[in-house]
A = this chain, B = another copy of it.
Amino acid sequence: MSGSTSGRGEPSRPAPARRAGTVRTVRPLPIAVDTMGGDHAPEEIIAGAVDAVREHDVRLVLVGRAPRIRRELDRHGVIGEIPIVHADEALDMGEGALASWRKPRSSIAIACHLIKQGRASALVSAGGTAGVVATSRLRLKGQQGVMRPAIAVTLPTRPNPTILLDAGATADVKPEGLVQFAALGTAYAQVLLGTERPRVGLLTIGEEPGKGNKLAKRAHELLASGNHGIEFAGNVEGHDLLRGDVDVIVTDGFTGNVALKTMEGTIRTAFAEIRGAMTSSAAARMGALLQRRRLQGLRDRLDPDTYGGGVLLGLNGTVVIAHGASRARAITSACELAHRLAAGRIVERIREQVSLTRTHRFGRWTHGTGDDRHPERTDGTPPEPADIAPEPRPTEETAPDGLELPGGKP
């Protein structure tokens, strides 16, 4: 691995997909960084990665065009210190689900392959959310027992952050899927916030159990039935999102994405109002400046650049999706986040949490296999390592919803 390029991507040692996240009790495997995704790739990505190695002692593998990466590393004076894995292609920011089939040698696909080979523990990318989600779903596959993946984001609540999921990976989900999201969120909060029994709220449109759409009502029933390792705190509403009353808020990817972007748009409007007031008296200008800094704080806290991006949970490997406009600092935080999650063995934690929800029988999917597109794998044997360049066969079924995280990604 040491600095050598292995763009061909032949598995040096075949490892089952579930290998990721199994050992690592002391120090996790390196984090694979996609140097080709994002508005400021590769310069800012590599600069951020170098900082993560230098200042935070995070182990990394840089994936992308090797000559270019070497040139950047040389500029930072760390040539030879960070391993490089070559990848020819990059996903364009606007590319969605189909790109994951069209470009089997994209930097993200290669990074996923490193995870499957057991050579990396997690992946960081500032590429377009739709492409990153589609590629990693295709390459890493769903964790055993997990029906659908979810993107977790950290809301800027005080004093403690609240985790919202799903922010847009799975637009259509069943009530049982929401219970699983609660399990994913619980595991995530345990690792990230160190909360032993995170309180989970269900996003809906009324405080009482009977309020909401069919999905939320049924999910409430399931969550309230207890007995699945989730500390259910009841319903929360849109105006509770920034209140910090719970540790985790669960919703479907459609509602979660709308809510997050609504928050973002409202903050932007509030900013515009402030700016409008700044043309008045000197005192007002002065005050407005201070105000603005204060609101800037709120915007920063809401900005994926600062909170390290969304995290795609539920696959055989953790994927940290940094903001498309990420600069070095954001990439450093994303690497740190990926490192913390890997060190906390997030994939195993999720497996444990999800298995608790499965001990409580939910009708049809009690024996879910995790990868609902391959129902033949029900015998518990690990899937064969998928070829890195499979036949492109895009189908309606496998094309994910292709959502974007808020924050201005195309």
Judge whether B239 and A168 touch: CB under 8 Å.
Answer: no
Contacts of A26 in B (CB 8 A): none
Q: Chain B nearest CB: distance from A274 CB in Å?
A: 6
Judge whether A298 and B283 touch: CB under 8 Å.
Answer: no
Is A203 among interface residues, defined by CB-CB distance under 8 A? Answer: yes
Chain B: CB-nearest residue to A210? B402
Contacts of A257 in B (CB 8 A): 205, 238
Stretch at the interface among A108-116, A183-191, A212-220: A212-220
Q: Chain B nearest CB: distance from A401 CB in Å?
A: 7
Judge whether A265 and B243 touch: CB under 8 Å.
Answer: yes
Chain B: CB-nearest residue to A167? B205
Judge whether A237 and B258 touch: CB under 8 Å.
Answer: yes
Q: Quick one: which of A217-241 are within 8 Å of B by CB?
A: 237-241
Interface size class of A (residues with CB under 8 A): 35 or more
Interface of A is mostly: helix
Given the known inter-chain contacts A280-B290, A286-B284, A403-B205, please indicate yes or no for A239 contacting B254, CB distance below 8 A. Answer: no
Chain copies in complex: 2
Q: Quick one: which of A252-294 are within 8 Å of B by CB?
A: 252-255, 257-270, 273-274, 276-277, 280-281, 283-291, 294
Q: Max chain B CB contacts within 10 Å: which of A171, A252, A266, A297?
A: A266
Contacts of A237 in B (CB 8 A): 258, 261
A281–B287 CA distance with the chains assembled, in angstroms? 9
Task: Please name 10 further chain A to chain B contacts, defined as beta carbons within 8 Å, in addition to the given A242-B265, A263-B266, A287-B291, sorted by A numbering.
Answer: A171-B213, A211-B403, A211-B404, A237-B258, A238-B261, A238-B262, A262-B262, A273-B297, A277-B290, A287-B290
Could you list which residues of chain A lie within 8 angstroms of chain B, going by C-beta atoms?
A: 130, 168, 171-172, 203-206, 210-214, 216, 237-243, 251-255, 257-270, 273-274, 276-277, 280-281, 283-291, 294-295, 297-298, 401-404, 406
Enumerate 21 A-B pairs (CB-CB under 8 Å) in ascending A order: A130-B206, A171-B205, A205-B403, A211-B402, A212-B401, A213-B401, A237-B261, A238-B258, A238-B259, A238-B262, A238-B264, A238-B265, A239-B261, A239-B406, A240-B265, A242-B266, A251-B258, A259-B262, A266-B267, A273-B298, A281-B290
